[in-house]
Amino acid sequence: MSQKNYKVNEAIEIVYQTTNGATGKTVNMEVYDEGHVLVGGGPIVLTELGVTGRYYGPFTPDAVGEWSVQVQESDGSGKATRAFSVGAYDLDDVGGQADAVKADTASIISDVAAVDTLIDGVVTDVAAVDTKVDTVDSKIVTVDGKVDTVDAKVVTATSKIDAVDTLVDGVVTDVAAVKSDTASIVTSVGTVDTKVVDLDTDVVAVKSDTVSIIADIATVDGKIDGLGSPPMIG
């Protein structure tokens, strides 16, 4: 019967029991590899375990495949044959790997439970964030309303500023007109000042002439007084 629990490059021990437990026998074992070629060129002599009639000996398969052994006593009696399916893994390896997989699975299950807990926490956090977002949305709506109110006031203020600008423009125009009138008045005052100066000069000249005339009159009066009374004709 083919066995499937042997690993390449690991020794396989063969045990052979003689008929009726006969001891002191020479028992030979022939080993055939996966290509059915006799290994070592001849039989391997097995060792008896005490005087039990039980003989044992190992062989080591060095390739993956179906190996077989044939055991018989030196007189050709008691032939026994057994096949071995040799692979890269044996049952111990598979069992070890299964245990490792089981441990990994338990760890994964634990991790999944932890992840579930984290997800629950995230869901709770998301719900809290949603609530905060709703609150923020509400505040944004309130702010939008206030912004609209401010916009309306800005429009009103802008309108008033435009009216003030118009008034200022009118004032600037009026100031320019007053400035022009003032310049004209200053020019007129200058002309008047000039005429006043000229008049003062004329007055001084008239005054001087008057004084001269008065002096002349006085001279004439003196001369008349020197002439005495005119002769009288009677």
The Cα–Cα gap between 190 and 184 comes to: 10
Query: Using one digit for the tens of pLDDT, what is the confidence trace for 58-71?
Result: 999 999 999 999 99
CA distances, 50 to each of 19, 23, 46, 47, 73 (Å): 16, 9, 12, 9, 17
Q: What is the pTM of this model?
A: 0.40
List 6's β-bridge partners, or say none.
Answer: 86
Q: For the chain, what are the domain ranges?
A: 3-88
**For 3-88, CATH number?**
2.60.40.10
Assess contact for 40 and 47: CB atoms under 8 A: no
Start-to-end CA distance of the chain, whole Å, equals 216
Planar angle of CA 27, 32, 35, nearest 5 degrees: 170
Question: Collapsing DSSP states into helix, strand and coil, what is residue 1?
Answer: coil
The Cα–Cα gap between 95 and 74 comes to: 40
Query: Using one digit for the tens of pLDDT, what is the confidence trace for 68-113?
Result: 999 999 999 999 999 999 999 866 555 556 677 788 878 868 886 8
